């Protein structure tokens, strides 16, 4: 805390990892001597810059942009760009730190980074978003590159924004390289990238359930968010026979007792992404559903829960409500959606709990595959990518088991993910000596 004043999200993320790592490194002198954890918790560099743009009323607006390059021990920096008014250096440092372990867990050669701006895309016209993205890239281009740092999308940055940024990068540098992932299929994007995070989270959930001889068939799922991750998680739950009861946005949640099937998910995708609407409108299209303003969905009884909106959206009291209502498994589609108290509640209740760095790694994994396809200048087939995504999620699950199984057989997935991710990065850093 003293080292990082005013950065609560970052301190929280480091504390959580440190707690798990201390036991593991206790008898490993090299990791202590070379200060590996402290080095991973100090970003390689942070670039902070002015993003100046003109709105449709000809007002000049000034925003702040960042790129946090946390660690490139095992590959080029890799991590999304977030446009949201809540973006601060602390939030991006926490995300870049987490990303380092997540990327290592995928088994692919990617380091950890994250970037963004305190820009609110909500209510902005296409032209305003375009001008902002172009201005953002006009500075960012000098810090990124296909072998240096490869950003992707995150909250507020989807296909449209990636297109504007890629176009600007190409224009400035006169190079067509895989500098961003999450690109459109017409210009180097990968099939399955859009679906990968949500699908991957549900594959991970299914793998955890399988360990207890269970599956998703007939299970009631409570999901938060209604963006990319939430809608694709919902889609995969439905495909695997589960029943999705809720979705949400920053104004509240909807509860559909009939279940949110594929047709309704398609409506949400069109409404939220293409029309940029509010989830509250769901009840007008599907009147048996109810809207609950300013509340998260965790009080709705369920078997499994997938927080897929944002950080710290599931607090201690929410975790207690889930557990007492009989929830048996939680898989984090978002990054750090459960606060520390909530994580302790899940751990104490010994329910299956998958942290984001393991459960939501499917997106960055397919981004890694997009990088490979760009290097080869070819596009792999959908079936091949689907299988690779499934294999990667199973691989992450296996790594968590290896380091997270407790003497009584219970699996601490948080610990397993932290140790497996740390070990890979730490061993690479040891190989480089003191740099
Ligand atoms: P989107 O922008 O597509 O969707 C975000 C969703 O979360 C929206 O429904 C949004 O509602 C909601 N939301 C945002 N802030 C809040 C809040 N304070 N309270 C309640 N709901 C909120 O983002 P993604 O789906 O891409 O990302 C969701 C999470 O998943 C993030 O934590 C992200 O870092 C993580 N993630 C995403 C990956 C990806 O591939 N996209 C990969 C790995 C992790 P509203 O419309 O009201 O803003």
CATH for 70: 3.40.50.10860
The share of the chain scoring above pLDDT 90, in percent, equals: 94
Q: What is the pTM of this model?
A: 0.93
> Per the domain annotation, does 12 fall within a domain?
no
From 227, 273, 296, 359, mutation site for ligand 1 pocket: most ligand atoms within 8 A of C-beta: 227
- The reply to whether 180 and 298 lie within a common domain is no
Residue 252 domain-assigned (yes or no): yes
Residue 372 domain-assigned?
A: no
| Mean pLDDT of the 409-431 span | 96
Looking at the fold, whether 243 and 135 belong to one and the same domain comes out as no
Q: Would you place residue 3 in the very low, low, confident or very high pLDDT band (cuts 50, 70, 90)?
A: confident
323 and 342 in a common domain: yes
Q: Which of 341, 359, 377 is the last residue of a domain?
A: 359
Whether 216 and 335 map to the same domain: the answer is: yes
Does 228 share its domain with 291? yes
User: What is the average per-residue pLDDT within 85-100?
Assistant: 97
- Measured between alpha carbons, how far is 218 from 325 in angstroms, rounded to an integer? 17
Spacing, Cα 227 to ligand 1 middle (Å): 6
Question: Is residue 204 predicted with pLDDT exceeding 90?
Answer: yes
**Whole-Å CA distances, 104 to 41, 100, 308, 358, 415:** 15, 6, 21, 10, 15
On whether residue 206 sits in a domain, the answer given is yes
- How many angstroms is it from 156 CA to the middle of ligand 1? 8
Chain segment 260-313, per-residue pLDDT in tens: 999 999 999 999 876 679 999 999 999 999 999 999 999 999 999 999 999 899
- Mean pLDDT, the chain, as a whole number? 96
Ligand 1 pocket member 156 (CB < 6 A):
yes
Q: What is the model's pLDDT at position 435? A: 84
Ligand 1 neighbourhood includes 360 CB (under 6 angstroms): yes
Cβ of 154 closer than 6 Å to ligand 1, yes or no, is yes
Mean pLDDT across 249-258: 97
Same domain, 184 and 201: no
Distance of alpha carbon 13 from alpha carbon 424, whole angstroms: 19
Q: How many domains does the chain have?
A: 2
- 114 among known catalytic residues: yes
**Domain final residue pick, 161, 189, 217:** 189
Kindly indicate the confidence band of residue 208, based on its pLDDT and cuts at 50, 70 and 90.
very high
Residues 97 and 78 in one domain: yes
Alpha-carbon distances, residue 82 vs 32, 131, 177, 313, 431 (angstroms) = 34, 16, 22, 17, 33
Read off the pLDDT of residues 20-66 as tens digits, 9 standing for 90 and up: 998 899 899 999 999 999 999 999 999 999 999 999 999 999 999 99
Question: Tokens in use for 176?
Answer: 């067509």
Report yes or no on 404 lying in a domain: no
- Please say whether the dihedral angle defined by the alpha carbons of residues 92, 97, 102 and 108, taken in this order, is positive or negative: positive
| Same domain for 202 and 185 | no
- Beta pairing, strands 252-255 & 243-249: antiparallel
Residue 219 domain boundaries? 194-359
Choose the catalytic residue: 78, 102, 114, 423.
114
């Amino acid at each position: 805390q003293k080292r990082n004043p005013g950065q609560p999200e970052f301190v929280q993320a480091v504390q959580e990892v440190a707690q798990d790592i201390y036991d593991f490194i206790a008898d490993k002198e090299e990791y202590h001597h070379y200060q590996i954890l402290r080095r991973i918790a100090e970003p390689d560099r942070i670039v902070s810059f002015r993003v100046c743009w003109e709105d449709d009323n000809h007002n000049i607006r000034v925003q702040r942009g960042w790129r946090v390059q946390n660690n490139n021990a095992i590959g080029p920096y890799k991590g999304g760009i977030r446009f949201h008014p809540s973006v601060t250096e602390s939030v991006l440092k926490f995300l870049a730190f987490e990303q380092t372990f997540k990327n290592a867990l995928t088994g692919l050669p990617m380091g950890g980074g994250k970037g963004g701006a305190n820009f609110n895309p909500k209510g902005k016209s296409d032209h305003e978003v375009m001008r902002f993205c172009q201005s953002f890239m006009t500075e960012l281009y000098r810090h990124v590159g296909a072998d240096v740092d490869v950003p992707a999308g995150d909250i507020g940055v989807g296909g449209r924004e990636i297109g504007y940024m890629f176009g600007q990068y190409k224009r400035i540098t006169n190079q067509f390289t895989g500098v961003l992932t999450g690109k459109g299929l017409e210009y180097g994007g990968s099939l399955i990238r859009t679906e990968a995070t949500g699908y991957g989270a549900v594959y991970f959930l299914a793998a955890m359930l399988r360990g207890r001889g269970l599956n998703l068939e007939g299970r009631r799922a409570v999901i938060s968010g209604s963006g990319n991750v939430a809608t694709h998680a919902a889609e995969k739950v439905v495909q695997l026979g589960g029943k999705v009861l809720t979705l949400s946005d920053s104004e509240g949640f909807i509860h559909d007792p009939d279940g949110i099937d594929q047709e309704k998910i398609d409506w949400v995708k069109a409404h939220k992404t293409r029309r940029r609407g509010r989830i509250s409108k769901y009840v007008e299209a599907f009147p048996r559903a109810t809207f609950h303003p300013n509340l998260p969905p965790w009080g709705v009884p369920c078997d499994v829960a997938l927080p897929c909106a944002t950080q710290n959206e599931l607090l201690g009291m929410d975790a207690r409500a889930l557990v007492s209502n009989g929830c048996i498994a939680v898989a984090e589609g978002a990054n750090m959606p459960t606060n520390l108290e909530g994580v302790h509640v899940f751990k104490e209740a010994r329910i299956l709990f998958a942290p984001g760095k393991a459960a939501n790694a499917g997106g960055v994994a397919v981004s890694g595959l997009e990088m490979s396809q760009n290097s080869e200048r070819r596009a792999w087939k959908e079936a091949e990518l689907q299988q690779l995504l499934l294999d990667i999620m199973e691989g992450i699950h296996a790594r968590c088991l290896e380091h997270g199984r407790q003497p009584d057989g219970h699996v601490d997935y948080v610990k397993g993910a932290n140790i497996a991710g740390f070990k890979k990065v730490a061993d690479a850093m040891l190989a480089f000596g003191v740099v």
